[in-house]
Amino acid sequence: MATDYYGVLGLSQGASDKDIKSAYRRKARDLHPDVNPDPGAKEEFQQVSRAYEALTDPEKRRIVDLGGDPFSTGGGGGGGNPFGGGAGFGGLGDIMDAFFGGGGTTRGPRSRTRAGGDALIRVDLDLDETVFGTTTDITVDTAVLCTSCTGAGTAPGTHPTGCTTCGGRGEVQSVQRSFLGQVVASRPCPTCGGTGQTIPEPCPQCAGDGRVRARRTIPVKIPAGVEDGMRIRLTGHGEVGPGGGPAGDLYVEVHERPHDVFTRDGEDLHCRVTLPMTAAALGTTLTLRTLDGDEPLDIKAGTQSGSVLTLRAHGAPRLRATGRGNLMVHVDVQTPTRLDGEQEELLRKLATARGEDHPEASRAQHNGLFSRVRDAFNGR
């Protein structure tokens, strides 16, 4: 079923060009994403822009008045495709366009209203902000809707006029000779840029573009668990299109600053603690600073250097699942390098008590190690 483009703008069939433009400006001013935060406003704004394009293009409006839809792939009320299919070649003129850059028929003027592009901005965050989430304000410099002309591009009280170069068709034609004979080539009008209209008195604020550049501050909600390099999409906060067209999207790319204690691997956090040899041998309890606050960390007696202790659910939240990652604590055992006389004597007594200072014990340990290395090479 064809869209009622007159109804979208709140008009009846036969409305004048002036009524169409006034209705579009009024609705665009109310629905534009920059001034209307309602999630459904962007879709309505796109419908209004499409209705404006359909009713200001003479050929498209003729199809609408015949009960068709000029944007339908089937061709609407403008006739079927004699070659079959709505999205392929529409006839001999389209075939000539494909091979020679233009055919004997014209495509009509294009709308001045076009969709805007996307924008990208970087935001730097600390580790606790990416782990727990935050709301931060970002400043962007993008094209926004001109408030003086609401996208029309004309000075107050004035209107666009038909282009005298192309006669409002949006195209100019030239005849070229080729081995097939004379070929009529069409190209966008250089005066009006293919719109079929010119603006005698451009809007002094936007110089006829329908948009101006402005700096604005936007609050961005950072979800908990976001990782370095991820992008957050803000729909409708990108560049407004020429002629006040719908805005593109704004992408906020997250960059995580290095932390002085923790490193991150997806959902897990890692840190290192250094223990004296005696604490590792006898066992102890440390107070470990985490992102959640101070936590006790039990070191069992006999803990070896290189051991990894796990504090569960002290990592980053999972974005696409429930729960959190873990905090992995890597243990480094520190061997003393300088001993005074008393300390050295104590260690010698310990070695004697453990039988580690006896020559035979040392030789047995050495031979045992050599045997294991030899067996490993012999495949035993």
Give residue 89's identity as a one-letter amino acid code.
F
How far apart, in whole angstroms, are the C-alpha atoms of residue 78 and residue 75?
A: 6
CA dihedral sign of residues 210, 55, 9, 81: negative
Is 146 annotated as belonging to a binding site? Answer: yes
How far apart, in whole angstroms, are the C-alpha atoms of residue 239 and residue 248?
A: 5
Which of 37, 31, 35, 33 has its CA nearest to residue 238?
33
State the chain's maximal CA–CA distance in angstroms: 111
Is 271 annotated as belonging to a binding site? Answer: no
Contact 145, 214 (CB under 8 A): no
Is 203 annotated as belonging to a binding site? Answer: yes
How far apart, in whole angstroms, are the C-alpha atoms of residue 54 and residue 74?
A: 16
Task: At 293, list the tokens.
Answer: 């606050």
Give residue 368's identity as a one-letter amino acid code.
G
CA dihedral sign of residues 91, 93, 94, 96: positive
What are the DSSP calls for 246-294, one per residue?
Answer: PP--EEEEEEEPPPSS-EEETTEEEEEEEEEHHHHHH-EEEEEEETTEE
Task: At 128, list the tokens.
Answer: 């606790």
Please tell me the total number of residues recorded for the chain in this structure.
Answer: 380
How far apart, in whole angstroms, are the C-alpha atoms of residue 26 and residue 52?
A: 12
Residue listed under structure tokens 């200001």 = 56
Is 189 annotated as belonging to a binding site? Answer: yes
Strand 250-256 relative to strand 211-222, pairing:
unpaired
* 278 phi and psi angles, rounded to 5 deg: -70, -40
Residues 6+ apart with CB under 8 A from 198: 160, 161, 162, 163, 164, 191, 192
How far apart, in whole angstroms, are the C-alpha atoms of residue 38 and residue 36?
A: 6
Residue listed under structure tokens 């992408």 = 251
Q: Which residues are annotated as a binding site?
A: 146, 149, 163, 166, 189, 192, 203, 206
Binding site for Zn(2+), by residue number, is 146, 149, 163, 166, 189, 192, 203, 206
